[in-house]
Structure 1
Amino acid sequence: MSNRPPSPPPRLPGYEYEQMLGSGGFADVFLYRQARPQRRVAIKVLLSNVLDESVRRQFDAEANVMAQMSTHPSIVTIHQAEVSDDHRPYIVMEYCPRPNYGMRFRKERITVAEALRVGVQIAGSVETAHRAGILHRDIKPANILVTDYSRPALTDFGISIATAKGHDVEDSQGMSIPWSPPEFFADPPRADVRSDVFSLAATVYSLLAGKTPFERRGQRNTASDLIHRIAAEPLEPLDRPDVPPELNRVLSIAMAKDPSGRYDTALAFGRGLQQVELALSLPVTQMDVLDDRGTPAAHSTDDDEMDMHTRIRKVATVDPDSGTTAHGGRRRLDPFDGVAPALGPASSAGSAPASSASSSPGESTQLRPAGAPVSSGPSPLAPPGARQEVEEKPRTPAWPFVALAGVVIVVIGVGATLGVRYFVAPEDQERESISINTPDDPVEPPGKPTDIAVETVAPAKGGGVTARARVEWAYPPDFEDGDHFRVHWKDMPENYEKFDAWHDVFGRNSKVLEVPPGISTPCVEVVTVDDNGGASAAGEACLESG
């Protein structure tokens, strides 16, 4: 996120400018309307003052990578890449109008079902990129856009690199610290496909937690604090009551400190999320993977159950099973038991499989319908004449006796039940029912802040220093010890996540915020949050220009 003022939109033949969508360190994103064919598109434009040739090469590489990947249903589509009349390179992309997950995860409670669905679908796009030899290196909620059809779409391959160069990373510039794995901050930095697995898992965690994985509410969360926690502190389990232990285990494996303890591939992580969907009796999300390598993937007997839920072109694929193998039904060892202990017999069978497990090429298992005869011929252990002797001896049919015994048992059982009911048992009393999966009684939300005012306390300066404004409000009448406030700029455009992010305010009723550049009348929202996490309705006020 950049604090600089946005650049002017370029004049592009065949496109009509509509509005700005957001800005980054080296580029701005604008909304245009394309004349032929008519549609709205997002156009990412490199800044005119960027003279660094490596940045320009990186911008061109992003266009090529996204164009190569954009046929995937969960990767943003690239339409065109050109250079404007004022010599600024630009990329014409699919416009995703719905709020991205970077804007949503701090504002609203995202369901477990939606987080799992997004995780599985993006895992397919990340696996596709890996099979094409590309590491994304910047997977985070803000880089998951949402299409018109509510489909998540991965974008911003601006700092992606070839998988073969993962041990030749110059630095961590451009990476987003809250979702980065420990190896990004090593000396020297390094990256491989398991680094993207960590970032994707951290993204799913953020969607469910409403905060980044190593952020601590009420504590200091500077970049150095986050880097220390990522490298040294354990991942806190999600404490939502609707998050099952299976999901916490999958996330803890994917975010292991040591890359060797994680899932080997994004595909394996996606399969782990699919297993959680199964455990919760949710529809299993389809995972799409495009494989251009022309060689079959490892066939795992642990993956047979989900074959219908994974589409991998040009390879034969398999899906997670209950943990048995083709070797006679023995349960295979859990490869992640040292990272995240298994949850017990009931859940270990459904634990996420290792991506490296595979069956021998020549093995097969013959299946028979239940109740089918094992053999239609005589037993090899029986004497030659035994079968004929049995067949010639007449037998008395047994079914009349079985039927008579059944009738007698039924009559005795019914008589005994009626006798106990009328002569022995006391009159039935209404039993207290137990509510299962029913919500708790609604709790009255706290009162919202009042008398909200916004005023500028420091004007913008040169060198990219933005203006600052103080937001003040009055305590609601029912404010209690343990309550606090949250404040942010509302309705920010794309790539303004820094200004859109909520700020927690403890022990006071004011907050100084950076003013978002390029917006004439920005407005703030303030809510009261009680100690149970319940939030009030939002109060708002706007900063008048001038």
Structure 2
Amino acid sequence: MSGPQIPGFTYLDHLGSGGFAEVYLYEQEWPRQKVAVKVVRPDVPLNEREKQLFTSEANAMARLADHPYIVSVITAGMTDEPGRAARPYLVMRYCPPPDLGARVRTAPMSVVDAISTGIKLASAIETAHRSGILHRDIKPSNVLVTTYNEPALTDFGIAGHMHEVESDHEVRISYPWSPPELLDGRSNGSVASDVYSLGATIWNLLMGRSPFAVPNGDNSSRGLTARILHAAPPPTQRADVPPTLDRLLQQAMAKDPSHRPQSALELARALQRIEAQQNYPRTAIAVEGDSPGLAQSGAPLGEPGAPDPDATHFKPISVVHASGPRGGAVATTAPPATAPPEAPPTPVRTSTVVWSVVGVVALAAIGVGVWLTAGGDDDPGDNPSPGQSSHTPIDVAPEAPEGQPVVTGSRRGNRVTFKWGWPDPLEQGDGWRWRRTDTGDDKRTSSKKLTVRSDDRVCIQVQLIRGTFASAWTEKCVS
């Protein structure tokens, strides 16, 4: 099979096929480099629906092209061969095969590498979400590997804009990686559904199969759907996987979207904490604008009241709630960290002609996937049993309370006591939410005190809840 003639590019090899396009390896003549070129197949009927999907993908990739863990677009155009109909093509960074899914089927990742990869992918997904883009098809085969052995997310072919997805009349899904609310029609996609798919992907990196696949069992779309809808998210049962990682992945794949980490960045931060607990090398979160700074109180780093120097800062973003009825989107926002809102991203200026042409191209680079293809206490009521989650989704917006809770912690033997308060007078109806970063326990409460029994280091995060809004988190650890 030979690729089309494209001026300035020399055909080298055929890389793969997808539902709508062929992917070829070319050498760009100037500057000289190998590239992956995706060309729409001549037998594909390009109706208005397909054109809309491909246009959305091209626009999404243009906005995200600079991210280190997203496959970048180089250029686009139309083939021009005598006697043949012109076909749109997209030129992308070349990532040598196989994709990540194929790699882990025969050799699952080490725990340290799986966590690091998960953080990098979460960085890419968080960046897309901040740009208002939902991926909606996160899976191992849509993660390529660069020549420097870094993951690169691709195939935004069914990506959607957050404010538009609930009006979709057709949603294409990949069964093993899709959350319950997509399978049963409650949602067309959300931040929470992308978090689910990322959790399932990380699980796969550790096990070499999808979470609800049964070895030698019924793994048809019908069988997978039944288990995804009704079975509890399974642990990996790998002896070297820390219990905290198993619990985090089960939380990410929770049936109720509100029980999952409420953003890709929240999942990344939880993975970073596991890295720290296990003394693994630290993986940075690659999200633009995230950097430590002064506490809102003005305390310098390292002083009481200052933020954790490793804390990630980002602005609240609007998302679509995953559990709303079809066509009934409910605007919510992702949990905050500690920084004021950033300015909106600068729109990427691209040629209307070029991106209209690319509107009939779906990006997958190589490894193209086919569509279809989660102690005692002085106040026992405020302490769930180990592993229990009473996570309550809280809207976070610019109207959220300014400032951060002040949290102190002390140890007496194996009893660790945390106390918290607010720098300013509280208002009637104010409450609190705390969560333990070592166990994942999460509680909304009116109490300002928590006592747990542990001989190990204990960390909690606390935020003020005021009406339907929440303050930034304050984290406190006691060794």
Q: TM-score range by the shorter chain?
A: 0.5 to 0.7
Partners of 1:116 and 1:159 in 2: how far apart? 26
1:191 match: 189
Alignment of structure 1 residues 116-515 onto 2, 5 Å: 116-173=115-172, 175-290=173-288, 304-305=307-308, 307=310, 310=312, 326-329=406-409, 330=418, 333-334=434-435, 337=441, 345=454, 349-350=458-459, 358-359=471-472
The match for 1:61 is 56
CA contact (8 A) 1:81 1:91 kept: yes
**8 Å CA contact retained: 1:170, 1:189:** no
Displacement of 1:118 in angstroms is: 0.5
| 1:46 aligned partner | 40
Q: Which residue of 2 aligns with 1:34?
A: 28
Q: What is the rounded CA distance, in whole Å, between the counterparts of 2:236 and 2:463 in structure 1?
A: 23
**TM-aligned CA distance change 1:354 to 1:20, over 3 Å:** farther
1:92-103 counterparts in 2 under 5 A?
A: 92-103=91-102
CA-to-partner distance for each residue in 1:189-211, whole Å, 9 max, x for gaps?
A: 43210100000010000010121
Answer yes or no: is the 8 Å Cα contact 2:104–2:208 preserved in 1: yes
Which digits, 9 at most, give the CA deviation of each residue in 1:412-451, with x for residues without a partner?
xxxxxxxxxxxxxxxxxxxxxxxxxxxxxxxxxxxxxxxx
| Gap change, CA 1:313 and 1:191, over 3 Å in 2 | closer
| 2-structure distance, mates of 1:62, 1:291 | 24
Aligned equivalent of 2:446: none
Q: Deviations over 1:96-149 (max 9, x none)?
A: 115321111111031001100110011011000000000000001111111111
SS in 2 for 1:48: coil
Counterparts of 1:161 and 1:306 in 2: how far apart (Å)? 34
- The count of corresponding residues between Structure 1 and Structure 2 is 344
- 8 Å Cα contact 2:459-2:475 kept in structure 1: no
SS at match of 1:19: strand
Q: Is the counterpart of residue 73 in structure 1 residue 174 in structure 2?
A: no
* 1:466-486 CA distance string (max 9 Å, x none): xxxxxxxxxxxxxxxxxxxxx
- Asked if structure 1 preserves the Cα contact closer than 8 Å seen for 2:337 and 2:472, the reply is no
1:108-123 alignment to 2 at 5 Å?
Answer: 108-123=107-122
Higher Cα Rg: structure 1 or 2? 1
Aligned residue type for 1:217: P
Deviates more, 1:143-152 or 1:192-201: 143-152
1:230 aligns to what SS in structure 2? helix
Please report how far the alpha carbon of residue 347 of structure 1 lies from its aligned counterpart in structure 2 after TM superposition: 7.2
Residue pair 1:255, 1:262 contacting (<8 A) in 2 also: yes
- Distance in structure 1 (CA, Å) of the matches to 2:12 and 2:212: 38
Partner Cα distance (2:171, 2:273) in 1: 33
Aligned letter for 1:334? Answer: R
Q: Name the SS for the 1:42 alignment partner.
A: strand
Change (3 A) 1:359 1:77: closer
When normalised by structure 1's length, the TM-score is 0.57
Q: How many Å separate the matches in 2 of 1:349 and 1:200?
A: 27
Local SS of the residue matching 2:167: coil
CA distance in 2, matches of 1:325, 1:68: 36
For CA contacts below 8 A with separation 6 or more, give which structure has more relative contact order: 2
Distance 1:68 1:10, change over 3 A: same
In structure 2, list runs of 5 or more residues that go unmatched: 291-295, 298-303, 318-335, 340-403, 410-417, 420-432, 444-451
Contact 2:177 2:197 in 1 (8 A): yes
1:57 CA drift (Å): 3.0
Q: % of aligned pairs identical?
A: 39
Secondary structure, counterpart of 2:275 in structure 1: helix
Alignment of 1:79-90 (within 5 A): 79-85=74-80, 86-90=85-89
Superposition RMSD on alpha carbons, in Å?
A: 3.6
Could you give the per-residue CA deviations for residues 39-97 of structure 1, whole angstroms, max 9, x where no partner exists? Answer: 00001111122232321232232122112101011111100121111311111000011
Could you say which residue in structure 2 is the equivalent of 1:455?
A: none
Measure, in 1, the Cα distance between the counterparts of 2:441 and 2:225. Answer: 26
Helix, strand or coil at the partner of 1:236: coil
* Paired residues of 2:463 and 2:471 also in contact (CA < 8 A): no
- Given the superposition, is the C-alpha separation of residues 359 and 69 from structure 1 closer, same or farther in structure 2, using an over 3 Å criterion? closer
CA distance 1:347–1:147, change in 2 (3 Å)? farther
Deviation at 1:172, TM superposition (A): 3.2
TM-score normalized by the length of structure 2: 0.65
User: Does structure 2 conserve the Cα–Cα contact (< 8 Å) formed by 1:275 and 1:350?
Assistant: no
Deviations along 1:486-524, one digit per CA (max 9) or x if unpaired, are xxxxxxxxxxxxxxxxxxxxxxxxxxxxxxxxxxxxxxx
Quote the residue 1:25 is aligned against: 19
Deviation, 1:188, is 4.9
Cα offsets for 1:384-409 (capped at 9, x unmatched): xxxxxxxxxxxxxxxxxxxxxxxxxx
- The corresponding residue for 1:486 is none
**CA offsets per residue over residues 277-306 of structure 1, 9 Å max, x none?**
0111011100111369xxxxx99x999436
